[in-house]
Structure 1
Amino acid sequence: MFRTLLPVLLALASFAVQAAPRHDPASLQTLAEHPYWISLGHYQRSLLGGWRSYIDDPAFFLAADGERLPLAELQATLESLHADPALGDDHVQCRYPSRTRWLRDQLGLTELPAVECAEYDTWYADIDPHSTVLVFPDAYLNSPSSMFGHTLLRIDRADMQGNGTALLSYALNFGAMVGEMDNSILYAWKGLAGGYPGQFSLLPYRDKISEYSSLENRDLWEYQLDLTPEETGRMIEHVWELRQIRFDYFFFDENCSFRLLELLEIARPGLRLTDQFPLTAIPADTVRAVKEAGMITEVNYRPSREKELLARAEPLDADELRLARALAADTRLLQGSACQALPAERQALVQETSYRLLRYQAVNRERDPDNAARSYELLQAINRNPPPRLEIDIPPLPEDGHESRTWQLAAGTQDHLAFAEYGLRMAYHDLNDNLDGFPLGAQIELGKLRVRQYEGNHWQLEELGLISIRSLTPRHALLKPWSWQVETGLERVAGKDGRQQLVGHLNGGGGFTWQLGDGLLAYGLATLRVEHHPDVAAKLSPAAGFDSGLLWRNGAGNMLLEAQADYFHNGEVRRRIGLTQQLELSRDLGLRLSAQRQFSQWANPQNELMLQLRWYYY
């Protein structure tokens, strides 16, 4: 009889040892509302009260309602911490090391069973986190996903400090999981609407360097943070908990930068970085927030491969540029008369330009033996006749640019009718805005509202812009990028009987931009437009047209001279010519003078003159 009962008694004894102790409900409620527990669950206050986690993956939560109830998730975690150690890597102590450590410290859980977490221990030892670098790949004009810039974290080991081996570090990145067939326009739309899931990834930093500085031609800014080894380790500990866990991804708020701010709050409890971004989280703004928190100790700049190529090619004349392009295609020309006739110092510049062009063209392509052979031959020529060291001026820091949200106050006249205009733009930058920290020719605007008050106290909604993107990337003798634009929203246009009508529209276009001089761009785009006009019988009115202009960076600011035309299927022709000059009063203050003349078959030509004060405040 005793032998029969012995296994049962042993099982009951084992259960008694492993059972979770009872804790005071009031203490658990206090812990569940502790800022650190809220951070570990990525909770936020919902609009209707209570909590909601940013994490949209049920696999992250132990409690059925853990996404909404931090207390339920805490209780489920406490119960699971005492589970059978034989679970090994599947034990909650192994799956959630951050939760385990924090609850052990808060509640003095000395009786927890000892669990061997082989998978986690190996992973953590391989990363060996010691210090953290915030990396900002700068804006890249020809990709809508990159026109805001991006942020990621570099995790360095202790033995990598100061020895130049940062490429062996790990990159901690949060990004959208994009379908292979999604084009740029679809990516922009789905990114705005939350159509992509987002995930954290941890991979060698050298891979990210290749992706951003070579594949996407983006400058890199590296900001050394003052996180201690303990704080860096605490952050990586939590990253383990987020493996394969999905978040919703949105371009303007729940994006790469916002997610990394959450991790920094895990690393250093008490930081209030995410609170500063309730609506939008523009990467440059988040870098500014980290800087203002006093966390940056050093800044390092890495120019992109494209910038290095163009900087090396800058001293070359037109004939030398043609020769450099020809050499990249046929290195036998190294012994040709055109190359041999050049002075040695000019040959050196041409040869290195050709080599950089060849390596630039090879990026993101399968290895080509012929390309490799030409690269090697050019490299040999460079070794025999080396050019001077390439010096690239460091541009203004991206976080030193203007704030992203803009208030606008204007006064003007429209055909002798005076008006005041009040405007707000949620984000981010247009072609005329203060330029420091931004590339010339880039525009991306979100949530633009303009309301006018005419004489006689007549109020009118002038524009409600959802999104406007323009990428004016100049062509070069060596590189031939496209320029493009897309815009949608509501705006006022000419209607019948001289009335102004509010129409919904979607338009876009593509073409080319040319660099005419230092800070002077000329562009020409073919455009397509679709709109819903109340005065037209058809629900949708299509039009083809053009958009052309000059963008000049001058001593006062940016000036834009632009001519546009739309030719509608119903015979209507709509044209506009405008001139706008921004005066940069300070980093976050601008004064804008604009004049335009509009033509339409439905109304007399209309002239408008406006003076606008722009305050960049958030």
Structure 2
Amino acid sequence: MRLPFFFLISSLIFSVSASDLEDVAQSREWNLLLHYRSSKSEVDSGAFFLAPQGPVDPLAELKENIAAANDRRRVGFNKEEFECAFPARAQFLIDQRLIQKREVRCERLQKFEQQMGAMQIWMIFAASFPNNPASVFGHTFLRIKTHPEKMTPDLLDYGINFAANTPGTDGTLAYAWKGLMGGYKGYYSITPFYEKVLEYSEVESRDMWEFELPLSPMERKRFLLHLWELLNNSWFDYYFLDENCSYQLFWPINYARPSLKLIDSKAFFWTPAETVRKLFDQFNSFEKTKNRMSVKARFILQKENLESRDRESLNAIIANEKKIEDEESADVCNAYLAYLEWQKSKSGKLDQAQFDKALKARSLLPIKAPPEFETPLSNPLLAHDSRLVGLKVNKDWASVDLAPFSHHQLKRDGGFIPFSEFEFFKANIRYEYDQKKWSLNRFDYFHVSALNAVDSLDRALSWRVNIASDQRSHFVEGGAGYGFGFWNQQALAYSLLKAEVHFLNHGEKRWSPGPSLEVGLVQRFHRLKNRLKSELLYSEFIREWSSSIATGYSLNRNQVLSFEALHTYGLDKKSKSDSIVLGFEHSF
């Protein structure tokens, strides 16, 4: 019986011409299903392929899939029938008339489809979290609406995530190195959506933006079947810069609608905000957009919108100088309820007695429509693009800035945490007019800073970390301090006490550690950003004081004009220099 069956399979394969099979193997859908890029798959798990040469040979993988389906072979990580392990591939082969449709009982797949529902698919953007270097760019994942919107709340939906599987024993440096070099395995996973809301919106106080993808029922079905294949049979070498949590979400979406060009161009670095922007550009729009404000942001906005008298009353209630039962303002009661929820997110415990008193006090007051707040700046669609090219000039030199990612204090805050900076692998190449030559003036490997305003309720630290090289030395600096907001949080004054270690390029003694103090003021007003900064560095071989005033004006989302006046004074050699620099930056 085995020999006739072999000839049956052979006849099915060879009834299609070799050229037809080659056309199918090179088709866009087949390449999307196998995650091929230039005939090499980005999937690294063996269970995802049936042919030994499948990762690099689409035709060999196609033939082996046809044979596995007709041979009723048990395949994949869970050793299931072909239609159960790879339902999207099976449907593709049926549509291409390369295999025949047959009844197969796939209990796990059927349960998955019923559980997911896929009434809607949403891209979720969790805003950046500067207090964790791994989350400074934000995070993206997907939400699958399990049932019609009116039947179940969003919190009962499922989140689809792609992330690196990291052991808890790795430190920050090991995490960064392995993340850059593909040292972790990345997996797709399913998590109850309420757990994601708890993690991002409540515990980490991050705004969440939700964008519904305009996919048809058939496209959502295709998405779900391919997602099943990825969840059960794949893992990837995880690269922090390109093959990361944002980029990998493109693949099942692109298979759902092959006409999209989400994965056609691969950037050196994919940020979560760019993922949302690219989806918006490809779909031309989103069906719906929602903002799920963090508990901290809700409280701060409610507090800032209070009249001065009501704000004093709220502060008195929080300080236990006034009872909530005596409050006569609905706005104050609402703000106090938001405050209690914020405190719960920090401590994990709700002051139930006070919460009940606040609810009772609020119930006795007239119903009032909630205030309308301005759209938070954390919306990723407001963010500038990540890559940078810039030009700076002054009387002695001209320079070019290049970086795969750059956001600094003179750029618009849209899509980013206000007063934050993130720059990676930024090169400043300078041309000296008198010497008539180009040279690498400075290279910033890693620069992250977060300036936070403190008040009586939140004592968040401001901090900065920078690893860089210039013509004088290679150096590492890091420090922390406090910032104080004013002008309705449109300006922030700060001070940072830092430690710096310089490895000098010249001289017998190379190491020059020492403390430094930085004070500054950053102000934002629509398109205009201003910064005053003064810094004192005192080490064994470098003792200097510098101060600067800088202004940035955003012409549009991606272009900035800048002006900076800088004064540097050497404390030991009594030398000084002054410089005025004009600049233009373009993000793309």
Aligned to 1:406: 388
Select between 88-97 and 575-584 the one with higher mean Cα deviation.
88-97
Identical amino acids, percent of aligned pairs: 27
The answer to whether the 8 A contact 1:435-1:557 is kept is no
Using the alignment, how far apart are the partners of 1:214 and 1:185 within structure 2? Answer: 28
Using the alignment, how far apart are the partners of 1:263 and 1:156 within structure 2? Answer: 16
Matched, 1:516 2:486: yes
The answer to whether the 8 A contact 1:19-1:82 is kept is no
The answer to whether the 8 A contact 1:130-1:228 is kept is no
From 88, 92, 110, give the equivalent of 1:102: 92
Distance 1:510 1:447, change over 3 A: same
| AA aligned opposite 2:190 | L
Aligned to 2:59: 71
Q: CA deviation at 1:615?
A: 1.7
Matched, 1:575 2:564: no
CA-to-partner distance for each residue in 1:249-268, whole Å, 9 max, x for gaps?
33332222211122211110
Q: Find the residue that maps to 2:389 and give its secondary structure.
A: strand
Select between 83-92 and 131-140 the one with higher mean Cα deviation.
83-92
Q: CA deviation at 1:585?
A: 2.1
Matched, 1:477 2:456: yes
Using the alignment, how far apart are the partners of 1:267 and 1:107 within structure 2? Answer: 20
Distance 1:214 1:228, change over 3 A: same
Q: Find the residue that maps to 1:410 and give its secondary structure.
A: strand
Distance 1:552 1:180, change over 3 A: same
CA-to-partner distance for each residue in 1:362-382, whole Å, 9 max, x for gaps?
2275557xx334433333333
Aligned to 2:565: 595
Distance 1:531 1:474, change over 3 A: same
Distance 1:334 1:89, change over 3 A: farther
Using the alignment, how far apart are the partners of 1:455 and 1:70 within structure 2? Answer: 55
Using the alignment, how far apart are the partners of 1:572 and 1:428 within structure 2? Answer: 28
Aligned to 1:344: 328
Q: CA deviation at 1:412?
A: 0.4
Q: CA deviation at 1:22?
A: 2.8
Aligned to 1:497: none
Q: TM-score, normalised by structure 1?
A: 0.85
Distance 1:426 1:555, change over 3 A: same
Aligned to 2:359: 379
After superposition, residues 168-567 of structure 1 pair within 5 angstroms as 168-181=156-169, 187-188=175-176, 190-243=178-231, 245-293=234-282, 294-314=284-304, 315=306, 319-320=312-313, 322-327=315-320, 335=323, 344-345=328-329, 348-363=330-345, 371-385=351-365, 388=368, 389-395=370-376, 397-413=379-395, 418-456=396-434, 457-492=436-471, 501=472, 503-518=473-488, 519-554=490-525, 557-567=528-538
The answer to whether the 8 A contact 1:411-1:611 is kept is yes
After superposition, residues 52-131 of structure 1 pair within 5 angstroms as 52-84=40-72, 90-110=80-100, 114-131=103-120
Q: CA deviation at 1:213?
A: 1.5
Distance 1:364 1:604, change over 3 A: closer
The answer to whether the 8 A contact 2:66-2:99 is kept is no
The answer to whether the 8 A contact 1:97-1:241 is kept is yes
- Unaligned runs of 5+ residues in structure 1 are 1-8, 46-50, 328-332, 493-500
Distance 1:321 1:161, change over 3 A: closer
CA-to-partner distance for each residue in 1:147-202, whole Å, 9 max, x for gaps?
22222222224x42456733322222222334335566765554344443322122
Q: CA RMSD in A?
A: 2.8
Aligned to 1:32: 25
| AA aligned opposite 2:199 | E
Aligned to 2:130: 141
| AA aligned opposite 1:70 | P
CA-to-partner distance for each residue in 1:298-347, whole Å, 9 max, x for gaps?
222221111101112223667545434334xxxxx664xxx67x7612xx
Q: Find the residue that maps to 1:474 and give its secondary structure.
A: coil
Using the alignment, how far apart are the partners of 2:362 and 2:470 within structure 1? Answer: 57
Select between 578-587 and 600-609 the one with higher mean Cα deviation.
600-609
Distance 1:179 1:485, change over 3 A: farther
The answer to whether the 8 A contact 1:175-1:200 is kept is yes
Aligned to 1:21: 12
Aligned to 2:584: 613
Q: TM-score, normalised by structure 2?
A: 0.89
Q: CA deviation at 1:408?
A: 0.9
Q: CA deviation at 1:220?
A: 1.9
Using the alignment, how far apart are the partners of 2:47 and 2:317 within structure 1? Answer: 55
Using the alignment, how far apart are the partners of 2:273 and 2:476 within structure 1? Answer: 28
The answer to whether the 8 A contact 2:72-2:82 is kept is no
Using the alignment, how far apart are the partners of 2:133 and 2:503 within structure 1? Answer: 26
- Unaligned runs of 5+ residues in structure 2 are none
Q: Find the residue that maps to 1:81 and give its secondary structure.
A: helix
| AA aligned opposite 2:113 | Y
